[in-house]
């Protein structure tokens, strides 16, 4: 049997999800009258931008996209918008 050794840099590249720049094709513009999450945009915390994407993972790095705001006030605003629909 032949064993293959991995370099530290090769190992970290396989484990760490890195932004490859593909996400800029899907970059979303800020809507005028509603919040980003209410309009269906999702945020990639790794690439640090909002994208228009139907999937649950970022098309660029593969990290799970955030679909809800983190702040309490923003969450309450989003809840009100969803209830009015």
Q: How confident is the model at residue 1 (pLDDT cuts 50, 70, 90)?
A: low
Global pTM?
Answer: 0.72
Can you state the percent helix, strand and coil of the chain, rounding each to 5? 30, 10, 60
Q: pLDDT: is 81 or 43 the higher one? A: 43
Q: 2-28 pLDDT, tens per residue? A: 666 656 665 555 556 788 888 889 999
pLDDT digits (tens, 9 = 90+) for 68-80: 998 999 899 989 9
**Domain-by-domain residue ranges, the chain?**
8-84
DSSP per position, 52-63: --SSSB-TTT-P
Residues 30-57: pLDDT tens digits? Answer: 999 888 999 999 999 888 999 999 999 9
């Amino acid at each position: 049997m032949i064993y293959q050794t991995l370099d530290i840099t090769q190992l970290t590249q396989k484990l760490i999800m890195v932004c490859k720049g593909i996400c800029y094709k899907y970059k979303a513009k800020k809507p005028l009258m509603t919040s980003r999450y209410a309009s269906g945009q999702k945020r990639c915390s790794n690439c640090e931008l909002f994208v228009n994407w139907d999937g649950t993972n970022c098309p660029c790095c593969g990290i799970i996209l955030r679909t809800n705001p983190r702040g309490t006030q923003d969450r309450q605003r989003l809840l009100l918008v969803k209830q009015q629909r």
